[in-house]
Amino acid sequence: MTNLTQVAVVGAGNMGGGMLARLLGLGWSVAVRDIDPRVQSQAVALGAVACGSAMEAARMLAPDGVLMVVVVDAAQTEAVLWGEGGAGPVLKPGQSVMLCPTLGPATVQSQAERLAPMGIDFIDAPMSGGPVRAQEGTMSLMVACSDAVWQRSQKLLTALSQQVFRVGTRAGDGARTKLVNNLLAAVNLAGAAEAMALAERLGLDPAATLSVIEASSGQSWIGSDRMRRALAGDFEPRAHVTLLAKDTGLAVQAADDVAFDPPLGRLARDLFAQALGRGWADLDDAALLKLMRQR
């Protein structure tokens, strides 16, 4: 096959689209597959090569190419690799699969174990930071892979981000690190929303109060990012409520698996579940302020 690409991205939405744009801007050749025609067209307009399925995207890969899976959850990951038109059956020894979603560690381990007998290298690499930082190359990548794969992947990893953290060699350690991070992000966001709702109830100017917090001990990145736009009434989704609802559930399950009880994590999980119950799944997770205002 001619015109092979070094990278294929399956899932070009918020984060995948940012990563894809980053690579294209640096001169990489990228194949793309997304089930949303509008998203795929946007990627093609940036210079990506369109594919009709994950399998077709995998067939576009060079012998040492990397299939980047940037979807939402375990079910979508399974479909990309092993469903109808999935990439798994046509991947070749020497190629790599890079899993970027927030998944449970057991899911990541099972995918790595399924690919290993085929000679497919595996990179456990969840990401954090949002689509703007993905496109800027300033998002965080939490990478777990073998020493050999780490060395071979340096060009791609450093192209994707200036914030690449190698967290282990065991498949699933990237997922474990991401769940710990996202659990704290959820707790911080819940706390920021609670504080802003309290400020309003006390008769304070919430925007002025947030400015004080941002220069003081209560500051958190996610609190500032989400509450600024929530206070402006902007709940257009950058990160849907469903994502942290999913991630907090996965994090609490991971804690249960090692007999650790995270009381704040459970509270955050339950708050996001309440937001889902109010029909806010498709809103930005800044909608947690709306929940706190109703208390």
Could you name the CATH architecture of 5-171? 3-Layer(aba) Sandwich (3.40)
Ramachandran angles phi, psi of 92, nearest 5°: -120, 155
Both tokens assigned to 85:
């038109």
The mean pLDDT of 169-187, rounded to a whole number, is 96
The pLDDT of residue 165 is above 50: yes
Please determine, for residue 39, whether its predicted confidence score (pLDDT) is greater than 50.
yes
Mean of the per-residue pLDDT values of the chain: 95
| 99 neighbors 152 (Cβ within 8 angstroms) | no
Catalytic residue among 92, 178, 246, 290: 178
Residue ranges, comma separated, of all CATH 1.10.1040.10 domains in the chain are 177-293
Q: Minimal CA–CA distance to 49: which of 57, 38, 59?
A: 57
The predicted pLDDT at position 1 comes to 43
Rounded Cα distance, 263 and 218, in Å: 20
Q: What percent of the chain lies above the pLDDT cut of 70?
A: 99
Q: Is 290 a catalytic residue?
A: no
User: What's the average model confidence in pLDDT over 229-242?
Assistant: 92
Mean pLDDT of 106-119: 96
pLDDT per position as a tens digit, 45-67: 999 999 999 999 999 999 999 99
Mean pLDDT of 115-140: 94
End-to-end CA distance of the chain: 60
Look at residue 72 in the predicted model and tell me its pLDDT: 92
* Alpha carbon distance 110, 108 (integer Å): 5
Contact 25, 3 (CB under 8 A): no
- What is residue 129's predicted lDDT score, i.e. its pLDDT? 85
Give pLDDT tens digits for 143-156. 999 999 999 999 99
Average pLDDT over residues 34-40: 95
Which residues make Cβ contacts (< 8 Å) with residue 188, sequence separation at least 6? 220, 222, 223
pTM of the model as a whole:
0.91
Q: What is the mean pLDDT of residues 265-284?
A: 96
At how many degrees (to 10) do helices 173-201 and 263-277 cross? 70
Q: What is the pLDDT of residue 2?
A: 54
pLDDT at site 134: 94
SS3 state of residue 188: helix
Q: Tell which wins on pLDDT, 239 or 153.
A: 153
What average pLDDT does this structure show over 176-196?
A: 97
With cut-offs at 50, 70 and 90, classify the pLDDT of residue 235: very high
The residue with greater pLDDT, 29 or 238, is 29
All CATH 3.40.50.720 domain ranges in the chain, comma separated: 5-171
H helices of 162-232, in order, are 173-201, 206-214, 221-231
| Topology (CATH level 3) of domain 177-293 | N-(1-d-carboxylethyl)-l-norvaline Dehydrogenase; domain 2 (1.10.1040)
Burial track 9-32 (b if 16+ CB lie within 10 A, e otherwise): bbbbbbbbbbbbbbbbeeebbbbb
**In the chain, pLDDT over 90 holds for what percent of residues?**
94
